[in-house]
Chains A and B, each alone.
Chain A
């Protein structure tokens, strides 16, 4: 309790840089205000860690960056599909709402996977359960693509 862990020190450094980038002023008063708010946030984080019980730490890695790039690409593809669906009355709008069985286990993987599905337009996670998600998709194809499981493989490969 009385000492700062390595984890806290890293967050402190990130927050300090963040403050400097956002403020851009280097007068004594503003630097002092920055120090106070950074320390306040650290104090709050330490309190929250105690309640949380099993803190999960995710640090940016190359694997994560690669995954985000791949996610960006699939988001763009899904957006083009959805934009065509909006403008072209001939393309059908046939929403489906069904369960998607998943084998992701850890909370971080689940969070990442569910959020990735929601972020991709055309598919939406409405509920997260132990071994399956409820997915609402604007077309059957979107759901089928998820069932093929490329996104899931990529999430699992990160090993979070």
Chain B
């Protein structure tokens, strides 16, 4: 196995694992604002790693540039989309839950959460 293949495999495997981590975090985190962080995990590190792993496997062509464009696009749009969601949630009367939320049995539906899902 050449060095290029090895790097590509490592990128793909680590990227896939981090992708799963983000998905699990999305389910495990206690409130909306913490879930945003978990979602950011998949977009800021898993997506670049997977795309870099793909780029290392591809032949030298224009397609390489396109993958790079996708990568730049994801990284450039992610903060804007994340901020838009957080701001919309705040303005929609959705307060962050603070303090120690490690205990999963505390997960209870807020009244405001229920009302905003009826739209």
Contact = CB atoms under 8 A, between A and B. Distances in A.
User: Do A and B share a direct contact in the complex (Cβ within 8 angstroms)?
Assistant: yes
Contacts of B40: 118-119, 121, 124
Interface stretch (A58-66, A78-86, A150-158): A78-86
A97 B101 contact: no
A76 to B, nearest CB: 7
Given A87-B21, A93-B29, A95-B34, A82 B102 contact: no
A124 B31 CA distance: 14
A95 B87 contact: no
A83 B86 contact: no
B104 to A, nearest CB: 8
B78 interface: yes
A126 B29 CA distance: 18
B24 A95 contact: no
B82 A92 contact: no
B109 interface: no
Contacts, number: 103
A103 interface: no
Contacts of B66: 22
Interface in B26-77: 28-31, 33-34, 36-38, 40-41, 44-45, 62, 65-66, 69, 75
| Highest count of chain B CB atoms <10 Å: which of A93, A115, A122 | A93
B80 interface: yes
Interface residues of B, number: 38
A79 B44 contact: yes
The A contact surface, by secondary structure, is: mixed
A138 B62 contact: no
A22 B100 CA distance: 49
B37 A121 contact: yes
Contact of A82 (B25, B79, B82): B25
Pairs A-B, 6 closest by C-beta atoms:
A118-B79, A86-B25, A79-B45, A115-B79, A121-B40, A24-B62
Interface of B: 18, 21-22, 24-25, 28-31, 33-34, 36-38, 40-41, 44-45, 62, 65-66, 69, 75, 78-80, 82-83, 86-87, 90, 96-102
23 contacts: A22-B66, A75-B45, A79-B41, A82-B38, A82-B41, A86-B24, A87-B24, A93-B30, A95-B99, A95-B101, A97-B98, A114-B79, A116-B79, A118-B78, A121-B37, A121-B40, A121-B44, A121-B45, A126-B33, A126-B86, A126-B87, A136-B33, A138-B34
Given A95-B98, A124-B36, 18 more contacts: A82-B37, A82-B38, A86-B21, A86-B22, A93-B29, A93-B30, A93-B102, A95-B33, A95-B34, A95-B99, A97-B98, A115-B83, A120-B44, A121-B37, A126-B33, A126-B86, A136-B33, A136-B96
